[in-house]
Amino acid sequence: MKKEETEEDDELKVPEDEQASGEDAVPAPDSQEESDTTPRDGQAEGEADEDFEEEEEIEFDIEAQIEEFRRQIEEEPESCVHHYNLGEALIEVGELEEAKAEFDRALEYDPEKEFSAIIHFSIGNLYFNKLISGVQGTVVRSSVGLHSAHKAGDTISQVNREDYEIPIGEFESAIKYLGQLKADDDLVEYVNRNAPQNIANTYYKWASDLIDKSRQIDLYGDEIKDVKEALKHLKRTLEIDPNHSQANLMVQYAKKMLQEGWQAYDEYGFEAKRIEGIG
């Protein structure tokens, strides 16, 4: 990162769910003697309000933000903050691969690790949100009780370890570099509060996916093994967040599955497979 960057250049774009209305939006035009909200001669007050709302929409337009961040990168290509801000904006328009590339560049241009905590946190969120999309977002809808009817396409059949380890690793890196984060107290507290919780939620998601996999119609042979692994991930969840109500319920359910066994039924109500309990 260039040492001549100003404090203003070092301002980070706060993640959207913590963001006040448009703090990092494209800068507004220079202030004028006449307020933009003041009705002009011959203009009704309602028309002035409409003009103000229209200007607000332009000011906080995400595409305009993206173009502004790209312009800043052209001027300072080695600014990790500009690449980070562009990555956050690209996520908002669904350009996840390009956003990840910008976050990687941000890390590359942050040798002193002054902003790595929030960058790793955002990468973790990117991967976690991908994990909970589509079929993977179906978090054991019938996990309380023994109702196990599944239709084709509604059940998780593959649980890949790296899909969960990657976001967990990113959130752990966010915690690791938190002490070096060059940001205001609110952003530091935001990462400090949410990174551990997101790790807990990822472990819970991992466990629930394994249990959902074990309850699919097809008999694949590792059902008991997967439920045992799920219990280990639930333990990690509760070590971080003892009050995680869903994880506490899931622990009781998984233990009951191992003790009593379980059945899976097809969409017509016929038993498709039976797993014997191990006592």
Contact 236, 242 (CB under 8 A): no
Q: Is the residue at 256 inside a domain? A: yes
Angle, helices 223-240/185-214, rounded to nearest 10 degrees? 160
pLDDT at 51 over 80: no
DSSP string, 83-123: HHHHHHHHHHTT-HHHHHHHHHHHHHT-TT-SSHHHHHHHH
CA distance 174 to 121: 5
Secondary structure letter of residue 27 according to DSSP: P
In the block, tokens 């002009």 appear at 40
Residue spans of beta strands (DSSP E) within 80-170: none
Of 24-28, 45-49, 98-102, the least confident: 24-28
Q: Is the residue at 33 inside a domain? A: no
Helix or strand or coil: residue 119?
Answer: helix
CA distance 80 to 112: 11
Q: 153: left (phi > 0), else alpha (psi -120 to 50), else beta?
A: left
For residues 60 and 229, the model is more confident at: 229
Confidence bin at 97 (pLDDT 50/70/90): very high
Q: Is the residue at 28 inside a domain? A: no
Residue 279: the pLDDT is 78
The pair of structure tokens assigned to 184 is 């205001």
Q: Is the residue at 30 inside a domain? A: no
In the block, tokens 């003892």 appear at 242
Residue 266: the pLDDT is 86
CA distance 181 to 174: 9
Q: What is the mean pLDDT of the chain?
A: 81
Confidence bin at 2 (pLDDT 50/70/90): very low
Instruction: Give the CA dihedral 95, 98, 101, 106, nearest 10 degrees.
Output: -70
Residue 239: the pLDDT is 98
Query: What's the pLDDT tens digit per position in 152-211?
Result: 446 788 899 999 999 999 999 999 999 999 999 999 999 999 999 999 999 999 999 999
DSSP string, 186-221: HHHHHHHHHHHHHHHHHHHHHHHHHHHHHTSSS--S
CA distance 160 to 131: 10
Q: For the domain that residue 182 is a member of, what is the CATH number? A: 1.25.40.10
Contact 119, 12 (CB under 8 A): no
Number of separate domains in the chain: 1
Q: Is the residue at 143 inside a domain? A: no
Helix or strand or coil: residue 24?
Answer: coil
Residue 201: the pLDDT is 96
Q: Is the residue at 242 inside a domain? A: yes
Q: 94: left (phi > 0), else alpha (psi -120 to 50), else beta?
A: left
Instruction: Give the CA dihedral 196, 198, 200, 206, nearest 10 degrees.
Output: -150
Q: Is the residue at 150 inside a domain? A: no
Q: Is the residue at 208 inside a domain? A: yes
Query: What's the pLDDT tens digit per position in 197-244?
Result: 999 999 999 999 999 999 999 999 999 999 999 999 999 999 999 999
- Domain residue limits at 86: 59-137+156-276
